[in-house]
Amino acid sequence: MELRPATKEEFDAFSVAALRAFHRVYTEHDRERYEKIDEPARSLAWFDDDGSIVATTGAFTRRMAVPGGTVPCAAVTAVAVVPTHRRRGLLTSMMRRQLDDVRERGDLIAALVASEGAIYGRFGYGIGSRAARLRARRPAARLAKPQAPGGELRAGPAGEHVGAMRAIHERVWPHRPGMLDRPGAWWDDRLEDPESRRDGAQPLQAAVVDDGYVLYAVRPEWSDDGATGEVRIRELVTAAPAARTQLWGFLIDQDLTTAITWEPAPVDEPLWLMIGDPRAVQVSVGDALWLRLVDVEGALRARTYASDPGVVIDVTDAFCAWNAGRYRLADGCCERTDAAPDLALDVTDLAVAYLGGTTLRSLWEAGRVEEHTAGAVARASAAFRGDVEPWSPDRF
């Protein structure tokens, strides 16, 4: 068997194998979609001795926002092993080779959306962000205060508002940890809306104001009691509170609907604070982006901190040995050191805390961080914490 990148000419065979592992059939629509964003040089595939592809993975070249900045990120995708070739170590060898490649390319972190929660921890990935499934009931969900006068709201088919949405997204994404840039064809991919995937909803729509936009679709439904339609949000992005209020006012004022749903929504979405009946909003939370620090020193240096951590952290990394060691975080600097550690943790747990969502104190209380110096957990936890929850609307 051979492990190597799949060429452009092997794109169809690669895609068939990847989707087969997810019990999906490769369609012409899939081909048209993935060809726009494909990066063959960043793919890896196991070829069986008959030349067939039996395992796949790939990555997209993106940038991710982290507290205080943005970093190069490998957006890992298409991780799959066909059913006939599982439990043979193919996945482990692909992850090993891929992380070596990611490091050589200079990406500080890798990120993925996990199909199963038990797979990626052994490769150093941890849950870097969580996301919510939000459901608001109409008519109970009403804004508690009248909307302040805002800019003009434009609404219509999503494709008619790409320029305005792109400009707003460019303003927002670098300041929300977890969000990704959208170069090249990534806006086309985000607006991808085949009828076969709508589950009864109408075509994708957009509503845009000066400082925000929402992508949504309405699923009409009727019962013996009347209209029971649903407004489904794909993403809502704003640069100012007034824009958020204006867009929510538009969404919850849609006639012939009884619910507004949004997944993945930010965990800290403030809708429940904006309406008169907080119980009209229900939220459930799960994992979203899984993060891998490929270059620990570079990643720690690239982000800012809420306060001076003033600690030495001992990091273990069984899968990427180059990361193992002690790092001094103090005075806005990160450097390797031989000094005695104040904290010790695995690279997986450092990834969980890196974007500022889950605190180091929570990891310590879960038994995943060792404290060697009294007060070090509290000091480092406060420093790593962000003022917003990490979130990404993108899937890849």
Q: Give the C-alpha separation, 182 to 169, whole Å.
A: 9
Nearest residue to 129 via CA among 359, 346, 355? 355
Choose, from 34, 213, 305, 396, the residue flagged as catalytic.
396
Q: Which token pair is 372? A: 């060697």
- Choose among 395, 322, 391: nearest CA to 104: 322
Please provide the size of the chain in residues.
Answer: 396
* CA distances from residue 373 to 35, 313, 333, 377, 379 in whole angstroms, order as listed: 52, 11, 20, 8, 11
Residue 120 a catalytic site member = yes
β-sheet bridge partners, residue 53 = 47
For residue 190, the SS3 value is helix
Active site residue 327: no
Separation between Cα atoms, residue 239 and residue 169, nearest integer Å: 9
Amino acid at 86: R
As a whole number of angstroms, the distance between CA 162 and CA 215 comes to 11
Q: Residues 14, 34, 60, 120: which is the catalytic one?
A: 120
Closest CA to 204 of 164, 241, 233, 167: 233
- What is the set of active-site residues? 120, 396
